[in-house]
Amino acid sequence: MLVPEGGSRRRDLPAVVAWRVARDLAHDLALDRPEVAVIPLHLRDDSADAGVAERVGRLLSTRVALVLGARDHDGAWLRVSQDLEAGRAVAVEPLGRALVHLRRWRPPRDSRGLVVLFTGLSGSGKSTVARDLTTALLVQHDREVTLLDGDVVRRLLSAGLGFDPASRERNVRRIGWVAARVAQQGGVAVCSPIAPFDRTRREVRRMVEEVADLVLVHVSTPIEECERRDLKGLYARARRGEVPDFTGVSSPYEVPTDADVVVDTTHLTREQAVSAVLSHLRAGGWLGPATGA
């Protein structure tokens, strides 16, 4: 039996899950002394997989009884994934004991790990909305929620890092790594770094989506409004050249093109902004019915 290394998309079956599925399928199919091998099939198609299987069988002087397709060519794995996410019966046979591994891989969304990553300019309101969202999730829903506050992360997790572009990217990666570990255990991590660079945000998304789900929230409040709110005078100092690498002034902010939710706190109250994020989470199935007022 051959299983793929694993595909690059979220719905592609990871190699470790595919190996467990193949092992139990071999048992259910009563194959005689089966061996399960993992080979790099994730960039191939069904025809190429069959050719590789035949060559591998010849090299091993054996017969390849089953190849688990590495990619979702006909939508079968997508349908399985959707059934698992919704908690429905999986209409693919024969799966038998292998369903246990698939259910661990794709638990229903309302019990699966989640990272809500806020991004936006300094003064955009992202930290306030993130804190309010955390409170709403703790009060209204039966989820374990961790807030990765930017100031606390800077003081503890990223102590010693500067504010140059490389240090800020490293800070966002660290936040992403910790958030992914929270989500891997089925929790919800809420984070609100500025995260100005598209490459780093996408790196965090890939990191998280190996083990859980990620919702990216762009707090799109324009820089003019952020400056108007700036009680600490950071924008003014940055414009005088006193604060180097300040996002939006002397360092770029790359507007997300892959944001799942966009809110502008110029026009929305903090309650309305939180409501928009909660609505997206409910519509996506990450939240069950509210448990409190």
185/126 same-domain check: yes
Residue 242 falls inside a structural domain: yes
Query: Number of folded domains in the chain?
Result: 2
Q: Band of the pLDDT at 201, cuts 50, 70, 90?
A: very high
Instruction: Report the CATH number that the domain containing residue 250 is assigned in CATH.
Output: 3.40.50.300
DSSP state of 71: S
76/157 same-domain check: no
Pull the structure tokens for residue 10. 């979220």
What is the average pLDDT score of the chain? 81
231 CB contacts (<8 Å, ≥6 apart)? none
Per the model's pLDDT, the better-predicted residue between 106 and 232 turns out to be: 232
Residue 17 falls inside a structural domain: yes
166/86 same-domain check: no
241/260 same-domain check: yes
Residue 291 falls inside a structural domain: no
116/151 same-domain check: yes
* pLDDT over 50 (residue 293): no
Distance of CA 208 to the CA centre of its chain: 4
8/149 same-domain check: no
Give per-residue pLDDT as tens, 165-200: 888 899 999 999 999 999 999 999 999 999 999 999
Q: How far apart are CA 256 and CA 170, in angstroms?
A: 19
Instruction: Decide: 165 and 197 in contact? Cβ < 8 Å.
Output: yes
Residue 288 falls inside a structural domain: no
Residue 290 falls inside a structural domain: no
Q: Band of the pLDDT at 8, cuts 50, 70, 90?
A: very low
What is the structure's pLDDT at 115? 98
What is the structure's pLDDT at 163? 76
149/265 same-domain check: yes
41/184 same-domain check: no
54/93 same-domain check: yes
The two beta strands, 188-191 and 145-148, are parallel
Q: Where in the sequence is the domain holding 212, given as residue range(s)?
A: 109-283
What is the structure's pLDDT at 63? 63
Residue 68 falls inside a structural domain: yes
Give per-residue pLDDT as tens, 221-273: 999 999 999 988 999 999 999 999 999 999 999 999 999 999 999 999 999 99
94/114 same-domain check: no
